[in-house]
Each structure stands twice: as structure tokens, then as C-alpha cells.
Chains A and B, each alone.
Chain A
Amino acid sequence: AQSVTQLDSQVPVFEEAPVELRCNYSSSVSVYLFWYVQYPNQGLQLLLKYLSGSTLVKGINGFEAEFNKSQTSFHLRKPSVHISDTAEYFCAVGAGTALIFGKGTTLSVSS
């Protein structure tokens, strides 16, 4: 069975600072990894995904994530955040049909 742990429930940062949102997963099989963003009262939008190949994945809005198989991690990073990045971020793992989501990390960007 797969599981996802997002290590921080809330991450407050100042505008233009770098940010890292941490995600660890467990799985006995090869998996696909995803980061989604959810703005208030909206659905989920895919930020980026890892299926295979290069372990550094670039996504939309300047985000990137690195797949680390030995540490079973898929941390999300952005070198300089904006106020508009304030949202809920979900890490998810898929190994078939259903996606397994972490509990989410609330990123709060202030000026």
C-alpha cells in the first residue's frame, strides 16, 4: 500500500523568500508522484508530476520538485515566492488508478 506524509501542516514565509514544502512517501512498487495546488474554494490544479526520467521536475508558476528514491522524498521548492502563491499544497502518489494524497501544507506568503 502507498502512503504520503507532508511533514509541515503550515509554512509561513515572506514574499521573495525561498520555500520548500516537504513530502515523503512509502510504496512497495514504482509510483508516480504529483504536487497539486488548491486555492480557496477551488479545485485542485496540477503543479508538476514525476513519472520517470530526470529526477528534477519543473512545473508551473516557477515551482520545481526533486524525486529522491533513496530518501523516498519529493520535496517542492520555489526560489522566490509571491503573495499569490498563498494556497494549500498537496503531494500525491499514484500507482494505478487512485491517487493517495497527503494532508496538505498551507503556504502563507506575507509582505
Chain B
Amino acid sequence: NAGVMQNPRHLVRRRGQEARLRCSPMKGHSHVYWYRQLPEEGLKFMVYLQKENIIDESGMPKERFSAEFPKEGPSILRIQQVVRGDSAAYFCASSRETGGEQYFGPGTRLTVT
């Protein structure tokens, strides 16, 4: 049973470009969470999605960031016009039900140059 998959594992973008991060949840999981880890910090919640719905986006920056979890395919975290401060590790987690145990992917490390 494959775990949570994230790709790419490493992503380098120049300032102003777009970054697209993908997350495939564990088989049987329909709940996806995105977290961001800045250097020397713990993980900060960004957004919680179920298939085709954003349930809680209280941790998402108001501008440039968006997330989706379509009926088919992986969840996507999209960052438009990246800035140096977006450099971080972005982790995806999935669960089988609301409030269920969250299983984490290996993360995508975004570097903005």
C-alpha cells in the first residue's frame, strides 16, 4: 500500500514564476491537508480539502496561493509569482476521514532564487 506521494521532491523557481506542487493521498483516503515548514520552524497548517471541496483554508496566504483536489488526479498546491519568502518545505498529509490520523508525504522543497 503506497504511502502519500508528493512530487516533485525538489523544485527551484526564479522570483515571479509559478510553482505547482502535487500530492497523491494514500489509497482509500479522501481528505488532504497541506502544511508549510519554514527553516527552524514547525509545520504550519495551510489548507484542508476533500474531493472537489476546500473545507478549511484558514492558513493560506490571501494572495498568490491556491489549492485544489479534483475528482480525478492529485491535489495541487499552486503558488503564483513566487518570492524568496516562499522558499520552504511543503508537506501534504492525507486521512481516511475527518479528524482521522494524518499520514504525511516526503515533502516538496521549494527554493526560490
Contact = CB atoms under 8 A, between A and B. Distances in A.
Nearest to A104: B42
Interface string A48-79: 01000000000000000000000000000000
A99 B102 contact: yes
B55 A97 contact: yes
B99 A97 contact: yes
Interface string A69-108: 0000000000000000000001010101111111110000
A49 B37 CA distance: 21
B43 A42 contact: no
Contacts of A98: 33, 45, 48, 56, 58-59
Contacts, number: 56
B74 interface: no
Interface stretch (B13-21, B63-71, B79-87, B103-111): B103-111
Contact of A96 (B91, B99, B101, B106): B99
Contacts of A44: 43, 91, 104
Given A44-B43, A99-B43, A101-B42, A94 B99 contact: yes
Interface residues of B, number: 28
Interface residues of A, number: 23
A97 B91 contact: no
B42 A97 contact: no
Interface in A1-27: 4, 6
Contacts of A92: 43
B101 A49 contact: yes
B27 interface: no
Interface of B: 4, 6, 31, 33, 35, 40-45, 48, 55-56, 58-59, 91, 93, 98-99, 101-107, 109
Interface of A: 4, 6, 32, 36, 41-46, 49, 90, 92, 94, 96-104
Closest A-B pairs by Cβ, 3 of them: A101-B42, A98-B45, A44-B104
